[in-house]
Structure 1
Amino acid sequence: MTRPKEATTIASGAKRPAKNAAKASATKRFGTFGGVFTPCTLTILGVILFLRFGEVVGNAGILQSFLVVLISVAITSLTAISLSAVATNTRVRGGGVYYLVSRSLGVEFGGAIGLTFFGAQAVSVSMYVVGFTEAFMAAFPTINLPVWLIGSLVNLGVFACVYVGAGWTIKIQYGILAALVLSLLSFFAGALPSASWGQFVENLGPDYRTGSSFFSMFALFFPAATGIMAGANMSGDLRDPGKSIPVGTLGAIGTTSIIYLLMALMLGASASRSSLLDDPLIVKDLSFWPLLVTVGVFAATLSSALSSMMGAPRILQALARDQIFARLRTFATGSGESNEPRPAIILTAIISGLGVLAGSLDTIAPIITMCFMITYGYLNLATFYEAYTGNPSYRPTFRFSHWSTALAGTVSCVVVMFLVSPFWAILSIIGISVLQWYIARKKIEAAWGDVQSGTVFERTRLNLLRLEEDLYHPKNWRPSILALSGGAWTRPHLAVYGQWLTGGCGILTLAQIIAGEVDSRLERRASQEEALRSFIRDKELEAFPAVLVAPSLTVGIEALVQCYGIGALRPNLILMGWSSDVDRMNSIAGALRTVARLGRSIVIVRYRETTADPWVAPMGTIDVWWRGKANGHLLILLAYLFAQNDAWRGRPIRLLRMISSEAGREEATRHLESLLGDARIRATPVVVVADDFLSTIRHVSGGAAVVFLGFAPPEQGEELTFFHHTNDLMEDLPTVISVWSAGDSHLEA
């Protein structure tokens, strides 16, 4: 069995050659205000604020609008806290939230989230462009052009700005921020004189129209809050991401939250319910200088589109560099000293252009909500795992994060998804799960650590301690095999049979003993261990390597059997190959006696090659010869585990016993049936009446696929007798597995 061709090893994502890295470092010129606070603020104060927030207040009323805003702020704040913790715990490179999740939860989660978040950001461009188009058509009703044409032209303009470069786009955003501030001042200056107590009281409570509800309004509003990732998406272009991302993101959330709450208060106190529901430009109508609000709407929608158009390609570029999806490799390239992701920008523009043609603002917003909720949930989950498992590498300089805040963020994202739309929530979870399954199926190996490894370590540590505390019971017996395979590539059948004997529920270790002194064999030991590890990986074995330097084979076996393992998880079954070389008999016999004295069961495999590939199981029965319960219980258990492997499915097990008299056949058959009944193992009992065991076993099991026999280690001075008897017994048989039991397994368990 060879490793699948699609399996891929990926290096640390977003790494560049040294020369490119130096250039990239020199061009990281954006600070907290320009690189994080400004894009976050402009994205949050976008199309929803000017074109849909009046509808939210009209349906939900002032109090429930406050609740919509506060719930959104709570979720985004918890996520921003997690984002800040992860961002200050690692050296952040390009890719934003994708980079953070992939380096925490691993390649499967990171790849699925990266693709989802890229799609959400690309479709967000469509939402902002559609919002701009609505505002443009309302401001210039005399322009008689199709909506799709205006939207497409705007999308093309946004694409052109971003294609030129992020530096130029960031400079544009300063002017857009100034226009946004002026438009907000114009609104408050106009709305304040129009405010009245009576209007405030009238709009205090909700009055939902048919088809609307609190959660539909939440779904409509929440995309406004998703701008918190705009700064993180620029992580590869920041001078100090670890400092800028927490300060800029939390600062933007705090500032925009106050603005939204004040906007809800002023809209509810200044406009009638019908105006709020029916007039998408109510903010403009209430303002002191309507032209400034028009400029503000244009500025907000365009800036949000620009921010998403800048962020999405950088996510795709980082994803492509990690080579998770082979077809995305084209998008890994960058242009110029600033490494602009222009191929990814083109794809983003195409996706957003299709969104402009296909969707309306009210249709796009809930879909984006689901995508962002999943992204935020995974980011919170990553932070929870890091903090809760006590990973020593989790040392964020941001001190306000705790596992409980990350868990609250995760749960709130999932709950809100189902409250907004159970159907879309289930569909989104299924979609992300399919993506994870697809990536996991490709068996991609990442060269970076992830929290899953830490979680597995912690769970393993606790389980080992539990095993150490619990009393051993035969019911919990599982094969923990130490295979003395030597260089396993020279005797691959030992590795194959070792894995088959675990039955998919045990542990296999391939061990090699190098004779000599440790000081002179260190380099060879390291190279042999790596070769053994490569063999395990190439043959897709579920095994561990162990290489030991010892003065002799017997000393090495003694050391391995005594010391290998941890706690209660030590080898209970030693697997060896049979040698027909009589000169090696003394050392083999000595090793058998040593293992037996140490209380470990022994399995000796005499392999009969029937095919060129040892993974191909020969046809025939699995024969187990019962010669007493000393070894018999373990023989039957190992045969049962053997038959659980896919290669051996369908091969019948025969439990055989030889007796000397026909009169005892019925009783012997009942005994075998009773054994199998107590063991709950399906096999065929066969009683053979004969006097000569050697000729009988050759006759009965000559056509079997494999034969299980019991044996006893030879006493001192009986080595040659044991050797010749065993050789004669195996001579005309197929593969033979000889077993000596230490007595720690029972069929009735």
Structure 2
Amino acid sequence: MSQGSRPLGEKNSFGTFGGVFTPCVLTILGVIMFLRFGYVVGQAGVLAALLIVLASKVITLLTTLSLSAIATNTKVEGGGAYFLISRSLGPEFGGAIGLLFFGAQALSVAMYVIGFSEALMGYLPAGTSPTLVASLTNIGVCVCVAIGAGWTLKLQFAILATVVLSLLSFYAGAFADFDIERLHANSSMSFTDGESFWTMFALFFPAVTGIMAGANMSGDLKDPAESIPKGTIAAVLITGMVYASQAVFLGGASERIDLVQNNLVISDIALLPALIAAGVFAATISSALGSMMGAPRILQSLARDRLFVSLTPFGVGSDRDGEPRRAIVATFLIAQAGIMLADLNTIAPLITMAFLVTYGLLNLATFYEAITKNPSYRPQFKYCHWSTSLLGAIGCGVVMLLIDWKWALVATTLVAALHWYLSRVELGANWGYLTSGLLFERTRRNLLRLEDELYHPKNWRPFVLALSGGGFSRPHLVTLGSWLTAQSGVLTLGQVIQGDLDDHVQRRGSQEKILHGMIKERNLNAFPAVVVASDYTAGIEALVQCQGLGRLRPNTILLGCPLQVERMKIFGGLLRNLAGIGHSVVVLRRTDDPADPWAAPSGTIDIWWRGRANGELMVLLAHLMLEHPDWQGSRLRLLRVVENEAAIEEVQSHLESLLREARINGKTKVVVSNNPTAAIQSHSRDAAFVFLGMQPPDENQEEVFFHRIEGFVGALERVALIQSAGGMRLES
């Protein structure tokens, strides 16, 4: 069963008009229009009210374009905006915004129910409790939705007809009372009681948030990709014309004091006030029904994705048609809490912030989908551009700050906290969201830029290719590679499988998966690389030459040291070849067998200096090791052997100057001896790690090279032999 799909029963299949256009229109033309829009016009004036309508509609239209693009780019299931955001920005953002959006939709039910109750109070006996009326209304809305979406949507056709008739009654009455001079007098702003343009914007904006009413029914639509764009855009444009014309007619048909003080001023203006009353009741109830239908479906989809384990029970649907009845009960309880604790003017700004965050992230998701140029981003809706999505996202952010920066900060912090929580929970979601596409596009651009940059030794970083063997059979190489690269470099763990490619294709894939799994298990910052070659040495050379992309290629090869003369003959040729193609080499020779090969030993890191040829790389690698957390507390020593005491002062000054110019902390020491091998053995016997320079052996000199290496290593437990290809400078 796919996430978000119905487990049992036959799925609802509503069309564009019934499933999207009607719910959107009825949610937009709701309680704000009938009970608060006159107050907005009275406070802000007609011109500012038109600006508020225009700004609100621009933001929602831009968001609708983004919504349409994403809806036509993927198979849309249940969950509406949550589904679309989570499948684009990933489960962390999706879960965070889904929970916030569900809460906003549930509180919208309370807002619309309170509006309905305010309108009804004028027809009820004095002393009737508004909270009791709102609570009973909330129960009725919950019962209607619990019966089923099909019945509720059919009921909304009758409600839509009632709203249309009430608007016609208002326009007829307003036309009869219209006065140009009154319109002129009501055109300018005249705020009272601490109100401002942005408080009016915050009060009005929830009226236009109904654009999600159709998308929230995505799991019940016959063809979401067709219905969501057509139905939502039509609803945005038509309701925009309704609000704009209503602002003009309100300003020309009523005095400012009536607009501000009379919540039912539309009824006084209308030709048939009874139709306005019917319209208020119908619009507020329909909006409540729309939110009560949408919120549970968001919660159900969120629960089925199992992002929050505690919400899992709400993913259950009814056996007959999958209706989210448990989620409906949860929505009812949240709405009831809103009714008991707040009033209409308090709830509206809170809902505004939640919706603006949701719209902003939806626009952001579409923007990122477009700019990453992901081949899978092929929306059938062609009227959305990355610039419109970015403008929509910026608009949402700016409006949030201008309305109330404190509540904007609260909403953003809540999303960030939920995202932080989900990023630390092991989520099993694998939706192919755009994070990887965004990273790919960013990496692609950076690689192309890097290709054109002039190289400077100051920018040298270790890109280490460690021949770790299969299943970390050489853990000491993996450990050293991690110490050298964890803070500032790149580590690739390579393996060569000897044989024919035809015979080892499957083994190659499985070994790479094993390496990848062990990398994750050890929490290493590394990449696996496996090749098949008939000859082991040729396989290493092929791996070295083929790894990387552009300038991002291994510059340092990490190898184990042969323990037999026969193997050194082959190894010597490999060293010469690696030097020939410009790669530095680190050969690790260990004589100890530690109980924990991943632990850093105690002691100093000794570097035996013999000049810059290999010395600069030795010092840099030692410094990088000491930057690793495992080596905190250890120290670096730079040592050199001289033959007589007369050279001590000059060499000591030179070594100190090297470290000072390199800006690396460490101690220096000059050792007087005619036997460098014995001096190294004596002074570094307690060192945790020793760096020695080397040059590849001449042809046919591999045996001599082997015995010289064994002599230098002697009883030392950990020795790294360095063959530098250059490319770095200590002073950089």
| Both structures adopt the same fold (TM-score exceeding 0.5) | yes
Aligned residues of 1:82 and 1:379 also touching (Cα < 8 A): yes
TM-score between both structures, scaled by the size of structure 1: 0.94
1:539 corresponds to which residue? 522
Aligned runs of 1:153-168 on 2, under 5 Å? 153-168=136-151
SS of the residue corresponding to residue 339 of structure 1 reads: coil
Q: CA distance change for structure 1 residues 672 and 89 in 2, over 3 Å: closer, same or farther?
A: same
Distance in 2 between residues matched to 1:551 and 1:387, nearest whole Å: 45
Q: CA distance change for structure 1 residues 468 and 145 in 2, over 3 Å: closer, same or farther?
A: same
Distance in 1 between residues matched to 2:296 and 2:595, nearest whole Å: 51
When structure 1 is superposed on structure 2, of 64-73 and 689-698 the one drifting more is 689-698
CA offset digits 1:702-744 (Å, max 9, x no partner): 2222222222222222223322332343342232222110112
CA offset digits 1:472-496 (Å, max 9, x no partner): 2111111111111111432233222
Equivalent of residue 713 in structure 1, options 696, 713, 724 = 696
| TM-superposed deviation, 1:141 | 4.2
Distance in 2 between residues matched to 1:709 and 1:13, nearest whole Å: 59
- The amino acid of 1:289's aligned partner reads L
Distance in 1 between residues matched to 2:314 and 2:145, nearest whole Å: 16
- The amino acid of 1:325's aligned partner reads F
CA offset digits 1:419-475 (Å, max 9, x no partner): 111222233223322332332333646412222322222221121122222222111
Distance in 2 between residues matched to 1:736 and 1:138, nearest whole Å: 91
In the alignment, does 2:3 pair up with 1:14?
yes
Distance in 2 between residues matched to 1:606 and 1:90, nearest whole Å: 55
Distance in 1 between residues matched to 2:523 and 2:291, nearest whole Å: 43
When structure 1 is superposed on structure 2, of 95-104 and 161-170 the one drifting more is 161-170
CA offset digits 1:143-190 (Å, max 9, x no partner): x34333322222222222222322222222222222222222222233
In the alignment, does 2:45 pair up with 1:61?
yes
1:137 corresponds to which residue? 121
Aligned residues of 2:471 and 2:514 also touching (Cα < 8 A): no
| TM-superposed deviation, 1:557 | 1.3
| TM-superposed deviation, 1:608 | 5.8
Q: CA distance change for structure 1 residues 431 and 13 in 2, over 3 Å: closer, same or farther?
A: farther
| TM-superposed deviation, 1:337 | 4.2
2:368 corresponds to which residue? 385
1:584 corresponds to which residue? 567
Q: CA distance change for structure 1 residues 15 and 526 in 2, over 3 Å: closer, same or farther?
A: farther
Aligned residues of 1:488 and 1:510 also touching (Cα < 8 A): no
Q: CA distance change for structure 1 residues 445 and 492 in 2, over 3 Å: closer, same or farther?
A: farther
Equivalent of residue 48 in structure 1, options 28, 32, 57 = 32
Equivalent of residue 75 in structure 1, options 42, 45, 59 = 59
In the alignment, does 2:114 pair up with 1:125?
no
Q: CA distance change for structure 1 residues 15 and 554 in 2, over 3 Å: closer, same or farther?
A: farther
Listed as ranges, the gaps of 5+ residues in structure 2 are none
In the alignment, does 2:626 pair up with 1:637?
no
Equivalent of residue 241 in structure 1, options 203, 214, 224 = 224
Aligned runs of 1:340-739 on 2, under 5 Å? 340-442=323-425, 444=427, 446-607=429-590, 612-739=595-722
- The amino acid of 1:550's aligned partner reads A
- The amino acid of 2:290's aligned partner reads S
Q: CA distance change for structure 1 residues 672 and 138 in 2, over 3 Å: closer, same or farther?
A: farther
SS of the residue corresponding to residue 52 of structure 1 reads: helix
Aligned residues of 1:192 and 1:270 also touching (Cα < 8 A): yes
Equivalent of residue 320 in structure 1, options 303, 307, 313 = 303
1:9 corresponds to which residue? none
1:3 corresponds to which residue? none
Distance in 1 between residues matched to 2:514 and 2:288, nearest whole Å: 53
Aligned residues of 1:615 and 1:647 also touching (Cα < 8 A): no
1:4 corresponds to which residue? none
Distance in 2 between residues matched to 1:364 and 1:627, nearest whole Å: 76
Q: CA distance change for structure 1 residues 112 and 138 in 2, over 3 Å: closer, same or farther?
A: same
SS of the residue corresponding to residue 548 of structure 2 reads: coil
Q: CA distance change for structure 1 residues 593 and 378 in 2, over 3 Å: closer, same or farther?
A: same
- The amino acid of 1:123's aligned partner reads L
Q: CA distance change for structure 1 residues 344 and 599 in 2, over 3 Å: closer, same or farther?
A: same
Distance in 1 between residues matched to 2:191 and 2:240, nearest whole Å: 24
1:34 corresponds to which residue? 18
Equivalent of residue 106 in structure 1, options 70, 74, 90 = 90
Aligned residues of 2:4 and 2:78 also touching (Cα < 8 A): no
Q: CA distance change for structure 1 residues 271 and 90 in 2, over 3 Å: closer, same or farther?
A: same
- The amino acid of 1:718's aligned partner reads Q
Distance in 2 between residues matched to 1:67 and 1:521, nearest whole Å: 69
- The amino acid of 1:229's aligned partner reads M
Distance in 2 between residues matched to 1:320 and 1:724, nearest whole Å: 68
| TM-superposed deviation, 1:272 | 1.1
Equivalent of residue 271 in structure 1, options 254, 261, 271 = 254
- The amino acid of 1:232's aligned partner reads A
- The amino acid of 1:33's aligned partner reads F
1:91 corresponds to which residue? 75
- The amino acid of 2:623's aligned partner reads Y
When structure 1 is superposed on structure 2, of 636-645 and 183-192 the one drifting more is 183-192
Give the number of equivalent residue pairs: 732
- The amino acid of 2:643's aligned partner reads S
When structure 1 is superposed on structure 2, of 273-282 and 307-316 the one drifting more is 307-316
Q: CA distance change for structure 1 residues 15 and 319 in 2, over 3 Å: closer, same or farther?
A: closer
Distance in 1 between residues matched to 2:576 and 2:362, nearest whole Å: 56
Aligned residues of 2:450 and 2:551 also touching (Cα < 8 A): yes
Distance in 1 between residues matched to 2:615 and 2:428, nearest whole Å: 43
Distance in 2 between residues matched to 1:652 and 1:178, nearest whole Å: 83
- The amino acid of 1:118's aligned partner reads F
CA offset digits 1:538-580 (Å, max 9, x no partner): 2221111111111111111121122221111111111112343
1:6 corresponds to which residue? none
Distance in 2 between residues matched to 1:608 and 1:50, nearest whole Å: 86
When structure 1 is superposed on structure 2, of 503-512 and 191-200 the one drifting more is 191-200
Distance in 2 between residues matched to 1:692 and 1:414, nearest whole Å: 72
Q: CA distance change for structure 1 residues 141 and 624 in 2, over 3 Å: closer, same or farther?
A: farther
| TM-superposed deviation, 1:74 | 0.7
Listed as ranges, the gaps of 5+ residues in structure 1 are 1-11
SS of the residue corresponding to residue 575 of structure 1 reads: strand
Distance in 2 between residues matched to 1:135 and 1:726, nearest whole Å: 94
Distance in 2 between residues matched to 1:34 and 1:181, nearest whole Å: 16
TM-score between both structures, scaled by the size of structure 2: 0.96
Distance in 1 between residues matched to 2:593 and 2:117, nearest whole Å: 74
Distance in 1 between residues matched to 2:321 and 2:715, nearest whole Å: 74
Distance in 2 between residues matched to 1:540 and 1:79, nearest whole Å: 40
Distance in 2 between residues matched to 1:697 and 1:149, nearest whole Å: 91
Aligned residues of 2:4 and 2:301 also touching (Cα < 8 A): no
Aligned residues of 1:503 and 1:645 also touching (Cα < 8 A): yes
Distance in 1 between residues matched to 2:11 and 2:285, nearest whole Å: 25
2:188 corresponds to which residue? 205
| TM-superposed deviation, 1:610 | 6.8
Aligned residues of 1:13 and 1:321 also touching (Cα < 8 A): no
Aligned residues of 2:30 and 2:287 also touching (Cα < 8 A): yes
- The amino acid of 1:520's aligned partner reads D
Distance in 1 between residues matched to 2:166 and 2:116, nearest whole Å: 15
Aligned residues of 2:367 and 2:390 also touching (Cα < 8 A): yes
